[in-house]
Amino acid sequence: MARFATVLLAAAALLAAGRLTHAAPSTAGVFWRAVLPGSAVPDAVLRLLRPGSNFAAAPAALGFLPRHVADAIPFTAPALPSALALLGVAPGTAQAAAMAETLRTCESPPLAGEAKFCATSLEALVEHAMEALGTRRVRAVTSTLPRAGAPLQMYTVRAVRPVDGASFVACHDEAYPYTVYRCHGTGPARGYMVEMEGASEGAITVATVCHTDTSRWNPEHVSFKLLGTKPGGAPICHLMPYGHIIWAKNVKRSPA
């Protein structure tokens, strides 16, 4: 308990001093290079290691916290009041409500047989993805998009490249003062990188997941309503926005 209190005080001091953005890149960046050698850090992750903001700039995201700091901040629905106090978020505000919703989503039960987790640090994100995929040989697949998102226009598909694998881990960033990813196993799925060209400007490449078994999905899922299908029907595909990540097994082998 004493150690926890010490770390918690250190976290508060870092937050107050606005030093988190300096501490995160060194530890998380070294971790990435150590466990994913030869794998470039995607821009969607790089921006979270160097978010260019501090806590005084809230509600802008702080990016990834150092793991020891993130682990010291309570991350459960019952402990939300403590987290609000530590992070300087006023109860009853829109930001507090968004945090409560993130915790509710993270604590909701997974589908039967589904791997699900929320990660509050880069280290936890990578390690849990490895555990869910059953291997330490993984790679991050992300969309190549402007950080502000793709322009709203008509697009022409120029190429579709498959991503090796039959199941993946999809991670979505959630509303929180610092970076939190909600991740889940896709179940049987196919992955693609879809290259598209805009009618008036720019080319983009979008990571795409096609769920091939939806038999366990909620019949009220919005995808069924939009596509006029039902659980167990045709595959359902969705594009991954900027900042979202698909983790896949890295099947490439280094030359002997």
DSSP 178: S
Per-residue pLDDT, 217 = 87
**What 3-state DSSP class applies to 172?**
strand
Residue where the block lists tokens 């006023």: 90
What pLDDT sits at residue 62? 79
15 within 8 A of 55, measured Cβ to Cβ: yes
Q: How high is the pLDDT of residue 213? A: 92
pLDDT reported for residue 112: 78
Scanning the structure block, which residue is given the tokens 């682990």?
71
pTM: 0.82
Distance of alpha carbon 32 from alpha carbon 124, whole angstroms: 11
DSSP label at 42? P
Distance CA 102, CA 137 (A): 29
Query: Quick one: pLDDT at residue 4?
Result: 36
Q: Are 185 and 131 in contact (CB under 8 A)?
A: no
What is the pLDDT at residue 30? Answer: 87
Name the residue ranges covered by the structural domains of the chain.
2-249
Please report the pLDDT score of residue 26 as a whole number: 53
From the list 152, 181, 183, the residue with the least C-alpha distance to 168 is: 183
CA–CA separation, 13 and 167 (whole Å) = 42
pLDDT number for residue 14:
40
Per-10-residue mean pLDDT for the chain, 256 residues long? 38 41 59 89 85 41 87 96 95 97 95 90 96 95 88 94 94 95 94 95 93 91 92 93 94 54
**Residue corresponding to tokens 């939300």:** 80
**DSSP-assigned letter for residue 194:** E
Torsion of CA 93, 87, 5, 7, to 10 degrees: 150
pLDDT at 21: 41
